[in-house]
Amino acid sequence: MAWLPIPNHTVLLPGPAVVTADQVDVEDHPRPMDPGEYFITTVYQRPATTWWALRALLQSDWSLVPSAPERPRSQTNLYEDAEHEILRRVVYHICGIEPTVVVTILDLTPDSPLRGKVDPGDRVFSVAGVPLRMVRQVREIVQSQPPQDAVPLKLVKPDGRVYGLEVVPKPIRGLNGERGLGLLLSGHEESENLPKIRFHSGSYEGNSSDLILGLDICERLLNLDLRRGRRVAGSGGLDLEGNLTSVRGLRQKFSCARQAKADLFFVPAEDVAQLQGLDFNASHPRIVPIHSLSEAIYWLQRPKP
């Protein structure tokens, strides 16, 4: 009877704390010297049986919970980001590092004023002196110029040769009579010049590690000492806006952080009900509810009381 399974339930118990210094590298951006650490908190999951359920009732940092529903395959990438691409984008944005956008000519319309002057494959670097960051800028810039004025363009050939020319936009069929350049353009991000971030995952699963990994990476890219001797733990995934996404098992992760002798434990504000009964300010580690990675960085930069 002790090993009788309890359908659709799982037992959560504290896992080990994982030091981020062993999990991520940022090329040419060494970690600022500081005795503090960042810890990824983890949770073990066991299929629920009557024996494990009984232990969960007696152990304060164990929980018997309904099993997470299996997500449709089409939604998997909303939750699982195995290569941490969302995390990369968020930390680049927070640190003011934006990828170069390459705008390339795919083709020209029959009535383009640039026919015979540019070729498919050429890159449009700037229009009217404005460097391009996205395809739609071309139309916006052209429409903002005085009628009949020539618009200067800077372009780059596939072999790297840079050249410039001026052209007077003309009404283009398909644009309802609007003036344009008659270019069919494609835009893609060029990540070659971005700092190289390499992950050595293996000690944890899922994306609830994004918050703590993000703090470590931002500290390196910004060359800030955010730890200031503190041992910082936490849990939370990130969406594309840098906001924290919900996680479960916070009571187990709090115990994990406590075992690692952490000073702070960052958690998604929307999940604080999981820690009901704990004194957030008096507990050790101190529990800090936050909404985003930026808020965590701001909190760590505050003067010490």
pLDDT digits (tens, 9 = 90+) for 242-277: 999 999 889 999 999 999 999 999 999 999 999 988
- Which residue carries 């410039």 as its tokens? 164
Same domain, residue pair 257 and 212: yes
**pLDDT recorded at residue 21:** 92
288 is a domain residue: yes
Same domain, residue pair 160 and 211: no
Tell me which residue range forms the domain holding 26: 11-70+200-301
Same domain, residue pair 60 and 205: yes
Q: Are 20 and 212 in contact (CB under 8 A)?
A: yes
Same domain, residue pair 105 and 249: no
Task: Give the residue from 137, 166, 190 where a domain finishes.
Answer: 190
83 is a domain residue: no
Same domain, residue pair 210 and 175: no
95 is a domain residue: no
Mean of per-residue pLDDT scores for the chain: 87
The burial of 69, by beta-carbon neighbours within 10 Å (0-12 exposed, 13-18 middle, 19 or more buried), is given as: exposed
Q: Name the more confident of 162 and 11.
A: 162
> What average pLDDT does this structure show over 69-76?
42
Residue 182 has pLDDT above 70, yes or no: yes
pTM of the model: 0.73
- Which residue carries 């391009």 as its tokens? 132
Task: Give the residue from 160, 190, 220 where a domain finishes.
Answer: 190
**pLDDT recorded at residue 76:** 37
89 is a domain residue: no
Residue of 193, 232, 280, 298 whose CA lies nearest to 40 = 232
77 is a domain residue: no
Same domain, residue pair 174 and 226: no
Same domain, residue pair 238 and 185: no
231 is a domain residue: yes
Same domain, residue pair 166 and 206: no
Query: CATH number for the domain including 231?
Result: 3.30.230
**pLDDT recorded at residue 12:** 81
Same domain, residue pair 64 and 204: yes
- Furthest-apart CA pair in the chain: how many Å? 87
Q: What is the domain count for the chain?
A: 2
CA dihedral sign, ordered 31, 24, 88, 289: negative
Residue 38 has pLDDT above 90, yes or no: yes
Task: Give the residue from 190, 208, 240 where a domain finishes.
Answer: 190
Query: CATH number for the domain including 137?
Result: 2.30.42.10
Same domain, residue pair 224 and 154: no
3 is a domain residue: no
Same domain, residue pair 245 and 270: yes
Same domain, residue pair 218 and 293: yes
Per-residue pLDDT reduced to its tens digit, 105-157? 999 999 999 999 999 999 999 999 999 888 889 989 998 999 889 999 999 99
75 is a domain residue: no
